[in-house]
Chain A
Amino acid sequence: MASPDFSLSVADCPLIQIEGWDGTLGQFEKSLSALLGTKLPDSVGETVRQKGLLVIRVAPRRLWLALDDGLEAPSLAVDPDLGCSVSLGEGRERFRMAGAHIAPVLSKCITVDWRAPAAAPGRAVLTSLHHVPVLFLRTGDAACELIVPRSFSRSLSDWIADAAG
Chain B
Amino acid sequence: MNSNHKRLSIGGRIDREQPVEFTFDGRSLIGYRGDTLASALLANGVTLVGRSFKYHRPRGIFSAGPEEPNALVTLATAGRRQPNLPATTLELEDGLVAESQNRWPSLAFDVQSINGLLAPFLSAGFYYKTFMGPTRRAWMFYEHFIRKAAGLGRAGSGHDPDRYDISHAFADVAIWGGGPAGLSAACAAATAGARVALIEQDFLLGGQLLAEQSDSAAAAWLRQAEAELESSETVTLMKRTTAFGIYDGNVIGLVEQRDPSNPQLAGEARQTFTMLRARSIVLATGAIERPMVFSNNDRPGVMLASAARSYLNRFAVLPGKKIIVATSNDGAWRAAFDLADAGAEVIVADVRAAPSTALAAEAGRLGVVVRAATRIVDLNGGHAVRRATLNGPDGQPEAACDLVCVSGGWSPTVHLTSHLGVKPQYRDDIGGFVPGAFPADRFGAGSMMGTYSTAGAIEDGHRAGIAAAWFCGKSMPVPAPSKLDLGETATALLREAPSIGRGKAFVDFQMDVTTGDIELAHREGYESVEHLKRYTTLGMGTDQGKTSNFAALASMAALRNATIPETGATTFRPPYTPVAIGALAGCAIGHHFKPIRRTPMHDWHMANGAEMIEVGLWMRPFFYRQSGRDSNEAYIAEMRSVRQAAGLMDISTLGKIDVQGPDAAIFLDRIYANGFAKLPVGRARYGVMLRDDGIVFDDGTTTRLAENRFFMTTSTAKAADVLSRLEFLLDTAWPDLRVAVTSVSDEWAAMSVAGPKSRAILSAAFPVLDVSDAAFAHMGLLESEWQGRALRILRLSYSGERAYEIYVGATAGEQLWSRLLEAGRPFDLKPYGVEALGALRVEKGHVAGPEIDGRTTLDDLGLGRMAGKRTGFVGDVLRRRPAFQAPDRQRLVGLECIEEGKRLRGGAILFLPGEKPYGHGRGRVTSVTFSPERGHYVGLALLAGDVASEGSEVVAVYPMKAETVRARIASPVFLDPQGERLHG
Q: How large is the interface on B (under 10, 10 to 19, 20 to 34, 35 or more residues)?
A: 35 or more
Q: A130-B588, A159-B592 are in contact. Are A19 and B740 (CB under 8 A)?
A: yes
Chain A nearest CB, measured from B773 CB (Å): 31
Residue of B nearest to A110 (CB): B168
Whether B592 contacts A130 by the Cβ 8 Å rule is yes
Give the distance in Å from the alpha carbon of A60 to the alpha carbon of B362 in the complex.
Answer: 72
Whether A108 contacts B587 by the Cβ 8 Å rule is yes
Cβ proximity bits A18-37 to B, threshold 8 Å, 1 near / 0 not: 01011100000000000000
Whether B596 contacts A86 by the Cβ 8 Å rule is no
Whether B662 contacts A111 by the Cβ 8 Å rule is no
> Which residues of the other chain, B, contact A1 by a CB distance below 8 angstroms?
none
User: Which of A115, A155, A159 has its CB near the most chain B CB atoms (within 10 A)?
Assistant: A155
Give the distance in Å from the alpha carbon of A116 to the alpha carbon of B172 in the complex.
Answer: 10
Whether B195 contacts A115 by the Cβ 8 Å rule is yes
Cβ proximity bits B654-693 to A, threshold 8 Å, 1 near / 0 not: 0000101110000000000000000000000000000000
Residue of A nearest to B811 (CB): A90
> Which residues of the other chain, A, contact B595 by a CB distance below 8 angstroms?
130-132, 152, 155-156, 159
Whether B275 contacts A90 by the Cβ 8 Å rule is no
Whether B597 contacts A151 by the Cβ 8 Å rule is yes
Give the distance in Å from the alpha carbon of A80 to the alpha carbon of B165 in the complex.
Answer: 48
**Which secondary structure characterizes the binding site on chain B?**
mixed
Determine which of B165, B170, B652, B744 lies in contact with A113 in the assembled complex, contact meaning CB atoms within 8 Å.
Answer: B170
Whether A162 contacts B597 by the Cβ 8 Å rule is no
Whether A155 contacts B597 by the Cβ 8 Å rule is yes
B738 at the interface (CB under 8 A from A): yes
> Which residues of the other chain, A, contact B170 by a CB distance below 8 angstroms?
113, 115-116
Whether B596 contacts A154 by the Cβ 8 Å rule is yes
Residue of B nearest to A24 (CB): B738
Give the distance in Å from the alpha carbon of A21 to the alpha carbon of B667 in the complex.
Answer: 14
Residue of B nearest to A83 (CB): B740
Cβ proximity bits A66-94 to B, threshold 8 Å, 1 near / 0 not: 00000000000000110110111011100
Sampled A-B contacts (28; CB under 8 Å) = A19-B740, A19-B742, A22-B738, A80-B660, A84-B708, A86-B658, A87-B790, A90-B810, A90-B811, A91-B744, A91-B747, A91-B810, A108-B166, A108-B167, A108-B587, A113-B277, A115-B170, A131-B594, A132-B595, A150-B600, A151-B597, A151-B599, A151-B746, A152-B597, A155-B595, A158-B592, A159-B592, A163-B587
For the complex of A and B, the 5 pairs showing the least CB-CB separation, nearest first, are A91-B746, A91-B747, A113-B170, A90-B809, A151-B597
> Which residues of the other chain, A, contact B746 by a CB distance below 8 angstroms?
90-92, 149-151
Give the distance in Å from the alpha carbon of A68 to the alpha carbon of B167 in the complex.
Answer: 31
Whether A154 contacts B598 by the Cβ 8 Å rule is yes
> Which residues of the other chain, B, contact A108 by a CB distance below 8 angstroms?
165-168, 587
B502 at the interface (CB under 8 A from A): no
Question: Which residues of chain A have a CB within 8 Å of any CB of chain B?
Answer: 12, 17, 19, 21-23, 62, 80-81, 83-84, 86-88, 90-92, 107-108, 110-113, 115-116, 130-132, 149-152, 154-156, 158-159, 162-163
Residue of B nearest to A150 (CB): B746
Residue of A nearest to B660 (CB): A84
Chain B nearest CB, measured from A34 CB (Å): 21
Cβ proximity bits B726-757 to A, threshold 8 Å, 1 near / 0 not: 00000000010010101011111000000000
Residue of B nearest to A130 (CB): B595
B591 at the interface (CB under 8 A from A): yes
Residue of A nearest to B166 (CB): A108
Give the distance in Å from the alpha carbon of A87 to the alpha carbon of B742 in the complex.
Answer: 10
Whether B592 contacts A107 by the Cβ 8 Å rule is no
B789 at the interface (CB under 8 A from A): yes
B169 at the interface (CB under 8 A from A): yes
> Which residues of the other chain, B, contact A115 by a CB distance below 8 angstroms?
170, 195
Give the distance in Å from the alpha carbon of A47 to the alpha carbon of B167 in the complex.
Answer: 27
User: Which of B169, B595, B747, B790 has its CB near the most chain A CB atoms (within 10 A)?
Assistant: B595
Residue of A nearest to B708 (CB): A80
- CB contacts under 8 Å to A, within B614-664, are 618, 652, 658, 660-662
Residue of B nearest to A92 (CB): B746
Question: Which residues of chain B have a CB within 8 Å of any CB of chain A?
Answer: 165-170, 195, 275, 277, 587-588, 591-592, 594-600, 618, 652, 658, 660-662, 708-709, 735, 738, 740, 742, 744-748, 789-790, 809-811
Determine which of B600, B738, B747 lies in contact with A21 in the assembled complex, contact meaning CB atoms within 8 Å.
Answer: B738
Give the distance in Å from the alpha carbon of A87 to the alpha carbon of B658 in the complex.
Answer: 10
> Which residues of the other chain, B, contact A150 by a CB distance below 8 angstroms?
600, 746, 810
> Which residues of the other chain, A, contact B597 by a CB distance below 8 angstroms?
151-152, 155
Chain A nearest CB, measured from B747 CB (Å): 4
Chain A nearest CB, measured from B627 CB (Å): 25
Give the distance in Å from the alpha carbon of A92 to the alpha carbon of B810 in the complex.
Answer: 9
Give the distance in Å from the alpha carbon of A111 to the alpha carbon of B251 in the complex.
Answer: 11
Determine which of B169, B588, B745 lies in contact with A91 in the assembled complex, contact meaning CB atoms within 8 Å.
Answer: B745
> Which residues of the other chain, A, contact B599 by a CB distance below 8 angstroms?
151
> Which residues of the other chain, A, contact B809 by a CB distance below 8 angstroms?
90
Give the distance in Å from the alpha carbon of A101 to the alpha carbon of B651 in the complex.
Answer: 40
> Which residues of the other chain, A, contact B618 by a CB distance below 8 angstroms?
151
Chain B nearest CB, measured from A32 CB (Å): 14
> Which residues of the other chain, B, contact A163 by a CB distance below 8 angstroms?
587
Determine which of A19, A86, A116, A155 lies in contact with B744 in the assembled complex, contact meaning CB atoms within 8 Å.
Answer: A86
Give the distance in Å from the alpha carbon of A99 to the alpha carbon of B19 in the complex.
Answer: 40
Determine which of A80, A107, A111, A151 lies in contact with B598 in the assembled complex, contact meaning CB atoms within 8 Å.
Answer: A151
Chain A nearest CB, measured from B665 CB (Å): 13
> Which residues of the other chain, B, contact A112 by a CB distance below 8 angstroms?
168
Chain B nearest CB, measured from A88 CB (Å): 6
Give the distance in Å from the alpha carbon of A163 to the alpha carbon of B660 in the complex.
Answer: 39
> Which residues of the other chain, A, contact B748 by a CB distance below 8 angstroms?
90-91
> Which residues of the other chain, A, contact B168 by a CB distance below 8 angstroms?
107-108, 110-112
Give the distance in Å from the alpha carbon of A104 to the alpha carbon of B661 in the complex.
Answer: 43
> Which residues of the other chain, A, contact B662 by a CB distance below 8 angstroms?
21, 80-81
Give the distance in Å from the alpha carbon of A150 to the alpha carbon of B601 in the complex.
Answer: 12
Give the distance in Å from the alpha carbon of A21 to the alpha carbon of B664 in the complex.
Answer: 12
Q: A108-B165, A108-B587 are in contact. Are A87 and B592 (CB under 8 A)?
A: no
> Which residues of the other chain, B, contact A111 by a CB distance below 8 angstroms?
168, 275, 277
Residue of B nearest to A153 (CB): B598
> Which residues of the other chain, A, contact B810 by a CB distance below 8 angstroms?
90-91, 150
Q: A21-B661, A86-B660 are in contact. Are A158 and B598 (CB under 8 A)?
A: no
User: Which of A23, A151, A159 has its CB near the most chain B CB atoms (within 10 A)?
Assistant: A151
> Which residues of the other chain, A, contact B596 by a CB distance below 8 angstroms?
152, 154-155
Extra A-B contacts (4), CB below 8 Å, given A91-B748, A159-B587: A87-B790, A90-B809, A131-B595, A162-B587
Q: A80-B708, A91-B810, A107-B168 are in contact. Are A17 and B742 (CB under 8 A)?
A: yes
Residue of A nearest to B658 (CB): A86
Q: A22-B735, A155-B597 are in contact. Are A86 and B592 (CB under 8 A)?
A: no
Chain B nearest CB, measured from A63 CB (Å): 12
Whether B167 contacts A158 by the Cβ 8 Å rule is no
Whether B744 contacts A88 by the Cβ 8 Å rule is yes
Give the distance in Å from the alpha carbon of A115 to the alpha carbon of B618 in the complex.
Answer: 35
Chain B nearest CB, measured from A161 CB (Å): 11
> Which residues of the other chain, A, contact B811 by a CB distance below 8 angstroms?
12, 90
